Every structure is written in structure tokens, then in C-alpha cells.
């Protein structure tokens, strides 16, 4: 019996235009059999949450390299809690300093993937984590 | 001995050598297949037989002579070294002004301004979309008041200033001109560059505002206005840098950059501008990536191709129109977060390739940039790297020292050939604007980026410290901390500016700008008036957004 494929939103939050990583990840997740919704650039926290709910995703992957992560990521987690959708897993990729990672995890981010992470690591992480949550 | 005898002897000797190689290979096979980043399989060795079609005068000529393969200048670095120009900007105008003056004191010879994202996308610091972004990746400039502080105590007639600004390039250029005017400096004494290369924003860098065709009008307005009013200003820096950062190969980098350049030239000609009037002020910007000889060959090939395009395709007659002048930055995407000090070594080699390729100016990345904006100490090391290359290791003592190398000349020819094929494909699609609108260029870059990542993950491509030679228990290094109060202070100053200016003057300047935007008048004079009245960047860009519309990105994965 085949399982439903995982649905993942990959998004660029804030004004940052560096989308090489986000596109590579989106493509790799798709090649790994997941259904990927890619938002494109310049998404606000509100738009991310709205799209995630509309598309009924299990995972939100947000890419940010501009340094605005401390202002833009917590609102996403907060809105998900307000919508009682905190079962949606949020993972983050980008240039995020160590001490900020600790804070973001406290806020509910499941994992932060910094430069040098492999698509393999990310795919594995998503699969394991979603399995645990079931 | 005549040529044919010589050649036969070469072939004979090579055969003998080949037999020896075969024996060696039986005992000791080679480590792997050897390929360029652009996927060409490399020969074991290059020799005179690879130079059969080589024609010195056609393909190289002397430095400063068409087609400028060996350099645009007869004496190159023997006359003057390249401009050492570190891209810098963060926080407020005050903080960035401090960093600029520090760099100038340490022997840097030109300024390069990094703007924050709201500035680059034409939003004021208090716009809702500016949330979290103010002063982060560069300095926040909301109005002329900020530009005055940014350039405070910097003699604008003695430095050249490069501004990485694209969609609102006209606005920032106008602010710079207004500051110069206040310093009492005549416009012909201003030296510098605005990036103003909007086409690559749609495919690689992402700070677009208006749709492509509307944006092209602004670009041409600047060519025209600057040609008449600030004659020494580089009106555009046509950039392969970001295309490469987005994942392209070296060949795609040159091909898409030159395709964009062709589109700008064509647009200017269509608007009635004279080729030799604006073409000498076009400049370029390339990436220095890690495959050393491929990069050197890339710059040499780019110069030759551009010279021929300008002469043969566009009929330019002024040699300056044919000379490809370029800035180089080492590859940000090649920096690793792991073992960051190793980046110093990478950057040095990349920078050396740019120097051997004849760059006019250079930015060397700092070791910590895969982790944060660089500290002052890291930036100083990066600048010192350039100074070592320029003054200690002798590579600047003779022009184009790799010229004539069997390998480098073959790579130069190969890159030229492949780039021309790509340019033909873009031409067939209908030019760069079309090729961007239909997604061709984006998809070519994307698939190269994906292949690169796979090669790293499959260990076909070794990245020291990332997929090999890892160190356990790395110690974190000190990183630059941003002052969280910057954003608040910036918004306060913006509010003061809005309160203290002549509102009637601002309103009428913006009204005139809107009207001009609806016609086909040159917008530069209107933008200049608005800026001088302390209209904010967001107001000026807002007026233009109303008339020109906004670009909506479409992504095909």
C-alpha cells in the first residue's frame, strides 16, 4: 500500500533574493517523492502561513539569508499556534548565527540547516520527524 | 626546418610519448576524470599541436589592442594596479561612513556601497515589508539626508564610488549627485559606477521592482542623461557575478551577461542613442570562482567576445566602446561555514585568477561571510590579500603572463565558442528580455545549480571541510553583531526628514515625476528634483510603481 506523499511548502521569507538554495532544496524534495509548493520571493509571514494552510502541507521550509530571521520567523510560529496548526513542522535554512538557532528552536522551529547541509540530511530529517509525529 | 617537417616530428614524438603514458597508466591509473566546471573534459596535456589554428594577431594581439584578449591597457598593472574596492555597508549611514573612512585609511582605493534590501527594492525603512531588514545586508538610505551622512568628510572628487543598486539606481545616483553639488564638486569630477543592471535581477539577484520592459526604459534614461551630465560615470555594471552565484557555470556566466549587455545596447540604439556615445561607459562585473585556469580563460574570452560584438555587430568605432572593463568579486558561494579560516586561502587563489585575467577592480571576500557580515579584522585580511598579490608576488610585473600557454589559450577559445553558441540561442528566442520572460535563462541556471549540489553530495566535487577533511569540535569565531537599535533610529530620522521639508515642493516634484513617467521624457531630471526636495526613496519609487507597474515573479521548478 502506498502512503500519501508528504506535502512541503518551500518559501523565501522577507526581501532576500538569494533563492539558489531554496530552489535546489525544492527540486531535491520533489525528486525524493514529496509534493512541493514553492512560493517564490518576498513572502511575508502572513502569506507563508496562509499558503501553508490553504495547501494543507505538513512541512514548511523557509529560506532566509538576509539576517531578518529573528524578526520574520517568530511571527510564522505564532500564527501557526493561533491557527492550532502547530503540528505543521517548520524547518529553516540560511545564514543563521549559533545563538539565534537556540532561540528559534525555543520558539518552535524543528531544525535549522546552515551552509554545508546536504539535501540528503534534510530529506532524512523530514521523513524521520514526520514519522515520529504520526 | 619547415613547418610540415616540424609538425611531423611533433606527431612522431607525441606518439612515442603516448606509448610511455599508456604503460604508466597500466601501472598507475589516473585518479578520476578531469573536467572543467563548465563540463569540458580536459586533455592530459596541451601542446603545440593544439595551437594549429592559433593566430596571434587575430586572437590576442598586444595588450591594449583589439580584440583586447591580453588586457585593455598596454601597460596594465605596470602602470597602475587594479582598484582595491571592498563592498561594505551595514546599519546606519553613520556606521557605514566610519567603515568607509577606515578602509580608505588602510589603503583601499575606491568605495563600494552595499545597501539594505528595503533600499534596493524602493521601500522606506518604515514600510511594513521592511520589517527586520533595515540596515541588515547594507546601509539604509531613505532620503538625501542619509546620503549626506554616508559621504560625510569623503572628498567625492578624489574617490570613485561604486553603488550596488539596480531598480532604484536613478534615485541613488541622483542623491549622490546632489551631495556632490553641496560639496561644491563639478559633475565631471565624479567617478564611480551604479550597477543599474536590472535584467540579472529577474534571473539571479531578486531586487527587481518594475517589469522588465519598463525597467529597460529607466536604464536607457540613465545612459542618456549621464552621458550628457556626468561624463565619467559608469552608467551600468553588467553583472555575471550574481548569475554565477545563483549556480551557473563559467560559460553561462559570460554568455548571459553578454546577452544582457546586447539587450541594453540594443535598447539604447532603439531609443536613438549613438553607440560610441554611451558604450564607453558600460562596465562589467564577474565572479572569481575556484577553478583557477578556467576563470583566467573566462575573463580573456569575455574581453575578446565583447570587442568583436561591439565592432562587428554594433559597428562601434571608438576603441573604448569595444573594451570590456570589469570589476571582480571572489565567489561568495565558494565560502564555507566550516573551518572559515580556510576561506582566506580560497579567496587568495580566486583573487589571483582575476588579476591574471586582467581585472580593473577587485573585491576579496572575507573569511566569515558564510556566517555573518564580516568583522573589521576579517575585511582587513581580505584587503591585505589583494595587497600581497599586487605588491609581493611579482604577478603584476609583466602583462598577461599566461598568454600563449597552450592550455590557457585552448580554454579561452573553448569558452568563446561555447559562449557564442549560448548567445545565438538567446538571439533565437528574441533576445535577453524574451529569454527571461519565458524562463529560459532561469532554468539553465537552476539546472546547473542542482547539478553542482549533487556533485558535492556525491563527492564528485571535493569541498575541503564540507564533504572531506572535516574537523571535529570546531571553535566558533567572533562574528559581527548588529546594533538592534539601528532600525529604530533610522525610522526616527526618516520621520524628522518628512516633517522638516517643504511639503509643497515634494508634492509638486512627485506630481511632475508621475506625469513624466506617463510620457516618454527622460526621468532623471524629475528624479533629481524630487530627491533634492528630500522626497524619500519610497515616495519616488512609489510614484514610479503607480505608473510603471510591478513585476510578479513566476518560477518553474
The model carries a pTM of: 0.96
The C-alpha atoms of residue B133 and residue B43 are separated, in whole angstroms, by 49
Are B165 and B195 a contacting pair, CB within 8 Å? yes
User: Which one-letter DSSP state was computed for residue A13?
Assistant: B
A20, A26, A68 ranked by CB distance to B133: nearest:
A68
Contact B372 A97 (CB under 8 A): yes
Cell of A32: 525524493
Q: Rounded to the nearest 5 degrees, what angle is found at the Cα of B243, between the Cα atoms of B237 and B248?
A: 145
A17, A28, A36 ranked by CB distance to B207: nearest:
A17
Buried b (16+ CB within 10 A) or exposed e, A31-50: ebebebbbbbbbbbbeebbe
Q: Is the pLDDT of residue B1 over 90?
A: no
For residue B454, the model assigns a pLDDT of 96
What average pLDDT does this structure show over B306-318?
98
Residue B458, chain A, CB below 8 Å: the answer is no
The C-alpha atoms of residue B167 and residue B196 are separated, in whole angstroms, by 7
Question: In CATH, what number is assigned to the domain containing residue B129?
Answer: 3.20.20.240
Dihedral over Cα of B540, B541, B545, B548: its sign: positive
Residues on chain A touching B123 (C-beta within 8 angstroms): 15
Q: How many helices (H) and strands (E) does chain B have?
A: 21, 10
- Read off φ and ψ for residue A62, nearest 5 degrees: -115, 135
Higher pLDDT, B38 or A130: A130
What average pLDDT does this structure show over B278-297?
97
Residue written as grid cell 585518479: B31
Are B416 and B305 a contacting pair, CB within 8 Å? yes
Residues on chain A touching B247 (C-beta within 8 angstroms): 20, 24
Residues 6+ apart with CB under 8 A from A64: A12, A13, A14, A16, A72, A73, A92, A93, A94, A96
What average pLDDT does this structure show over B389-403?
98
For residue A2, the model assigns a pLDDT of 57
The alpha carbon of residue B313 is apart from the nearest alpha carbon of chain A, in Å, by 34
The C-alpha atoms of residue B300 and residue B416 are separated, in whole angstroms, by 9
Q: Is A64 left (phi over 0), alpha (psi -120 to 50) or beta?
A: beta
For residue A1, the model assigns a pLDDT of 43
Does residue B285 fall inside a structural domain? Answer: yes
Contact B482 A67 (CB under 8 A): yes
The alpha carbon of residue B305 is apart from the nearest alpha carbon of chain A, in Å, by 28
Closest B-chain CA to A115: B337
The DSSP annotation for B502-545 comes to -HHHHHHHHHHHHHHHHTTS-SHHHHHHHHHTT--HHHHHHHHH
Interface test with B, best of A21, A116, A121, A122 (most B CBs within 10 A): A116
- Read off φ and ψ for residue B116, nearest 5 degrees: -75, 170
- Both B229 and B363 in one domain: the answer is yes
- Both B146 and B223 in one domain: the answer is yes
Are B276 and B315 a contacting pair, CB within 8 Å? no
Which residues of chain A approach chain B closer than 8 Å at the C-beta? 14-20, 23-24, 26-28, 30, 36, 38, 40-42, 44, 66-72, 95, 97-98, 114-116, 118-120
User: Which one-letter DSSP state was computed for residue B1?
Assistant: -
Residue B477, chain A, CB below 8 Å: the answer is no
Closest A-chain CA to B243: A20
Contact A19 B206 (CB under 8 A): yes
Q: Is B188 left (phi over 0), alpha (psi -120 to 50) or beta?
A: alpha
The alpha carbon of residue B206 is apart from the nearest alpha carbon of chain A, in Å, by 4
Contact B132 A36 (CB under 8 A): no
Read off the pLDDT band of B109 (50, 70, 90). confident
SS3 of B103-130? HHHCCCCCEEECECHHHHCCCCCCCHHH
pLDDT tens digits, B430-456: 999 999 999 999 999 999 999 999 999
For residue B554, the model assigns a pLDDT of 85
- Please name the residue ranges forming H helices in B28-143: 93-105, 117-120
The C-alpha atoms of residue B183 and residue B179 are separated, in whole angstroms, by 6
Q: Where are the domains of chain A?
A: 7-133
pLDDT tens digits, B130-156: 999 999 999 999 999 999 999 999 999
Does residue B322 fall inside a structural domain? Answer: yes
SS3 B443: helix
Cell of B310: 561591439
Rounded to the nearest integer, the mean pLDDT of chain B is 95
Read off the pLDDT band of B35 (50, 70, 90). confident
Q: Is B422 left (phi over 0), alpha (psi -120 to 50) or beta?
A: alpha
Are B77 and B102 a contacting pair, CB within 8 Å? no
A18, A28, A66 ranked by CB distance to B136: nearest:
A66
The C-alpha atoms of residue A90 and residue A40 are separated, in whole angstroms, by 17
The C-alpha atoms of residue B178 and residue B190 are separated, in whole angstroms, by 12
What are the start-end ranges of the E strands in B308-427?
Answer: 326-330, 361-363
Residue written as grid cell 555587430: B313
User: B519 lies in which domain range?
Assistant: 486-548
Residue B519's alpha-carbon distances to A47, B80, B120, B217, in angstroms, are 36, 45, 25, 11
For residue B539, the model assigns a pLDDT of 98
- Both B171 and B250 in one domain: the answer is yes
- Read off φ and ψ for residue B253, nearest 5 degrees: -55, -50
SS3 A9: strand
- Both B424 and B540 in one domain: the answer is no
Does residue B1 fall inside a structural domain? Answer: no
Residues 6+ apart with CB under 8 A from B464: B336, B339, B342
Contact B457 A71 (CB under 8 A): no
B337, B372, B555 ranked by CB distance to A116: nearest:
B337
Does residue B250 fall inside a structural domain? Answer: yes
Closest B-chain CA to A36: B557
Interface test with B, best of A8, A15, A74, A124 (most B CBs within 10 A): A15
Interface test with A, best of B118, B130, B132, B206 (most A CBs within 10 A): B132
Chains A and B: how many Cβ contacts under 8 Å? Answer: 103
Give the closest residue to B125 by CA, choosing from B164, B77, B92: B92
Q: How many domains does chain B have?
A: 2
Contact B555 A23 (CB under 8 A): yes
For residue B159, the model assigns a pLDDT of 93
The C-alpha atoms of residue B524 and residue B534 are separated, in whole angstroms, by 15
- Both B92 and B210 in one domain: the answer is yes
Contact B457 A20 (CB under 8 A): no
The alpha carbon of residue A94 is apart from the nearest alpha carbon of chain B, in Å, by 9
- Both B453 and B500 in one domain: the answer is no
Residues on chain A touching B466 (C-beta within 8 angstroms): 116
pLDDT tens digits, B494-508: 999 999 999 999 999
B133, B247, B333 ranked by CB distance to A15: nearest:
B133
- Both B439 and B503 in one domain: the answer is no
Are B549 and B138 a contacting pair, CB within 8 Å? no
Residue B173's alpha-carbon distances to B166, B168, B329, in angstroms, are 10, 9, 22
Are B189 and B231 a contacting pair, CB within 8 Å? no
- Both B278 and B338 in one domain: the answer is yes
Q: Is the pLDDT of residue B38 over 90?
A: no
B117, B129, B370 ranked by CB distance to A66: nearest:
B117
Give the closest residue to B291 by CA, choosing from B463, B450, B86, B68: B463
Closest A-chain CA to B335: A115
Contact B205 A17 (CB under 8 A): yes
Buried b (16+ CB within 10 A) or exposed e, B68-97: bbbbbbeebbeeebbbbbbbbbbbbbebbb
- Both B417 and B529 in one domain: the answer is no
Contact A72 B338 (CB under 8 A): no
Contact A36 B557 (CB under 8 A): yes
Checking ipTM against 0.85, whether it exceeds it is yes
Contact A115 B117 (CB under 8 A): no
The alpha carbon of residue B553 is apart from the nearest alpha carbon of chain A, in Å, by 7
Read off the pLDDT band of B482 (50, 70, 90). confident
B337, B373, B449 ranked by CB distance to A24: nearest:
B449
Does residue B477 fall inside a structural domain? Answer: no
The alpha carbon of residue A29 is apart from the nearest alpha carbon of chain B, in Å, by 11
Read off the pLDDT band of B472 (50, 70, 90). confident
The C-alpha atoms of residue B25 and residue B216 are separated, in whole angstroms, by 56
Does residue B472 fall inside a structural domain? Answer: no
CATH class assigned to A7-133: alpha beta
Q: How many helices (H) and strands (E) does chain A have?
A: 5, 5
What average pLDDT does this structure show over B58-66?
98
- Half-sphere exposure at residue B343, Cβ-oriented, CA atoms within 13 angstroms: 26
SS3 A67: coil
- Read off φ and ψ for residue B52, nearest 5 degrees: -50, -45
Residues on chain A touching B448 (C-beta within 8 angstroms): none
- Read off φ and ψ for residue B289, nearest 5 degrees: -95, -165
Digits of tens for pLDDT over chain A (134 positions)? 457 899 999 999 999 999 999 999 999 999 999 999 999 999 999 999 999 999 999 999 999 999 999 999 999 999 999 999 889 999 999 999 888 999 999 999 999 999 999 999 999 999 999 888 77
Are B111 and B130 a contacting pair, CB within 8 Å? no
Which range is least confidently modeled, B347-351, B367-371, B386-390, B539-543? B367-371
- Both B411 and B301 in one domain: the answer is yes
Count of CB atoms situated within 10 Å of the CB of B468:
10
The alpha carbon of residue B132 is apart from the nearest alpha carbon of chain A, in Å, by 5
pLDDT tens digits, B215-224: 999 999 999 9
SS3 A51: helix
Contact A28 B117 (CB under 8 A): no
Read off the pLDDT band of B181 (50, 70, 90). very high
- Both B414 and B511 in one domain: the answer is no
Does residue B280 fall inside a structural domain? Answer: yes
Amino acid at each position: 500500500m502506498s502512503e500519501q506523499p508528504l506535502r512541503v511548502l518551500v518559501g523565501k521569507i522577507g526581501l532576500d533574493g538569494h533563492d539558489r538554495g531554496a530552489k535546489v532544496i525544492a527540486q531535491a524534495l520533489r525528486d525524493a517523492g514529496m509534493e512541493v509548493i514553492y512560493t517564490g520571493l518576498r513572502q511575508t509571514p502572513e502569506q507563508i502561513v496562509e499558503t501553508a494552510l490553504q495547501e494543507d502541507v505538513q512541512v514548511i521550509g523557509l529560506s532566509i539569508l538576509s539576517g531578518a530571521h529573528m524578526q520574520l520567523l517568530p511571527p510564522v510560529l505564532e500564527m501557526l499556534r493561533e491557527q492550532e496548526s502547530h503540528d505543521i513542522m517548520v524547518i529553516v535554512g540560511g545564514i543563521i548565527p549559533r545563538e539565534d538557532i537556540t532561540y528559534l528552536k525555543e520558539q518552535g522551529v524543528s531544525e535549522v540547516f546552515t551552509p554545508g547541509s546536504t539535501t540528503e540530511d534534510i530529506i532524512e530529517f523530514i521523513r524521520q520527524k514526520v514519522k515520529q509525529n504520526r | 626546418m619547415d613547418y610540415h617537417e616540424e609538425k611531423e616530428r611533433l606527431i612522431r614524438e607525441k606518439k612515442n610519448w603516448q606509448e610511455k603514458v599508456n604503460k604508466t597508466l597500466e601501472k598507475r591509473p589516473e585518479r578520476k576524470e578531469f573536467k572543467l566546471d563548465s563540463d569540458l573534459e580536459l586533455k592530459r596535456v596541451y601542446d603545440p599541436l593544439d595551437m594549429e589554428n592559433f593566430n596571434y594577431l587575430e586572437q590576442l594581439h598586444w595588450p591594449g589592442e583589439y580584440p583586447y584578449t591580453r588586457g585593455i591597457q598596454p601597460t596594465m598593472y605596470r602602470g597602475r594596479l587594479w582598484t582595491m574596492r571592498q563592498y561594505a555597508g551595514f546599519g546606519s549611514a553613520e556606521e557605514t561612513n566610519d567603515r568607509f573612512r577606515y578602509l580608505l585609511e588602510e589603503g583601499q582605493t575606491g568605495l563600494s556601497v552595499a545597501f539594505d534590501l528595503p533600499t534596493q527594492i524602493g521601500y522606506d525603512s518604515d514600510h511594513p515589508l521592511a520589517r527586520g531588514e533595515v540596515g541588515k545586508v547594507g546601509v539604509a538610505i531613505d532620503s538625501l539626508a542619509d546620503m549626506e551622512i554616508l559621504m560625510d568628510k569623503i572628498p567625492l572628487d578624489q574617490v570613485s564610488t561604486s553603488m550596488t543598486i539596480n531598480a532604484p539606481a536613478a534615485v541613488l545616483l541622483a542623491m549622490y549627485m546632489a551631495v556632490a553639488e553641496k560639496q561644491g564638486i563639478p559633475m565631471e569630477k565624479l567617478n564611480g559606477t551604479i550597477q543599474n543592471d536590472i535584467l540579472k535581477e529577474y534571473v539571479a539577484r531578486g531586487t527587481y521592482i518594475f517589469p522588465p520592459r519598463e525597467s529597460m526604459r529607466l536604464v536607457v534614461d540613465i545612459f542618456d542623461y549621464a552621458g550628457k551630465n556626468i561624463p565619467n560615470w559608469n552608467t551600468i555594471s553588467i553583472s555575471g557575478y550574481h548569475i554565477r552565484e545563483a549556480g551557473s557555470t563559467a560559460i553561462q556566466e559570460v554568455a548571459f551577461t553578454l546577452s544582457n549587455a546586447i539587450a541594453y545596447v540594443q535598447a539604447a540604439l532603439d531609443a536613438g542613442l549613438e553607440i560610441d556615445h554611451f558604450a564607453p561607459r558600460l562596465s562589467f562585473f564577474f565572479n572569481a570562482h575556484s577553478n583557477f585556469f578556467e576563470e583566467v580563460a573566462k575573463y580573456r574570452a569575455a574581453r575578446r567576445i565583447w570587442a568583436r560584438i561591439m565592432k562587428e555587430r554594433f559597428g562601434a568605432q571608438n576603441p573604448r566602446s569595444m573594451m570590456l572593463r570589469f570589476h571582480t568579486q571572489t565567489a561568495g558561494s565558494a565560502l564555507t561555514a566550516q573551518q572559515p579560516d580556510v576561506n582566506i586561502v580560497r579567496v587568495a587563489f580566486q583573487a589571483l585568477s582575476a588579476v591574471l585575467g586582467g581585472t580593473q577592480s577587485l573585491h576579496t571576500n572575507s573569511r566569515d561571510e558564510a556566517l555573518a557580515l564580516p568583522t573589521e579584522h576579517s575585511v582587513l585580511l581580505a584587503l591585505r590579500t589583494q595587497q600581497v598579490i599586487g605588491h609581493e608576488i611579482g604577478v603584476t610585473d609583466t602583462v598577461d603572463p599566461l598568454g600563449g600557454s597552450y592550455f590557457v589559450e585552448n580554454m579561452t577559445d573553448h569558452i568563446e565558442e561555447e559562449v557564442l553558441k549560448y548567445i545565438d540561442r538567446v538571439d533565437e528566442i528574441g533576445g535577453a528580455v524574451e529569454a527571461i520572460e519565458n524562463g529560459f535563462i532561469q532554468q539553465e541556471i537552476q539546472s546547473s545549480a542542482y547539478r553542482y549540489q549533487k556533485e558535492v553530495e556525491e563527492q564528485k566535487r571535493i569541498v575541503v571541510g564540507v564533504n572531506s577533511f572535516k574537523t571535529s569540535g570546531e571553535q566558533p569565531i567572533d562574528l559581527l553583531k548588529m546594533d538592534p537599535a539601528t532600525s529604530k533610529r533610522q525610522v526616527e530620522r526618516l520621520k524628522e526628514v518628512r516633517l522638516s521639508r517643504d511639503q509643497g515642493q515634494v508634492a509638486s516634484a512627485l506630481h511632475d515625476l508621475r506625469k513624466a513617467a506617463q510620457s516618454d521624457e527622460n526621468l532623471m531630471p524629475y528624479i533629481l528634483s524630487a530627491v533634492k526636495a528630500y522626497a524619500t526613496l519610497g515616495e519616488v519609487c512609489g510614484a514610479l510603481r503607480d505608473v510603471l507597474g510591478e513585476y510578479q515573479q513566476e518560477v518553474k521548478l
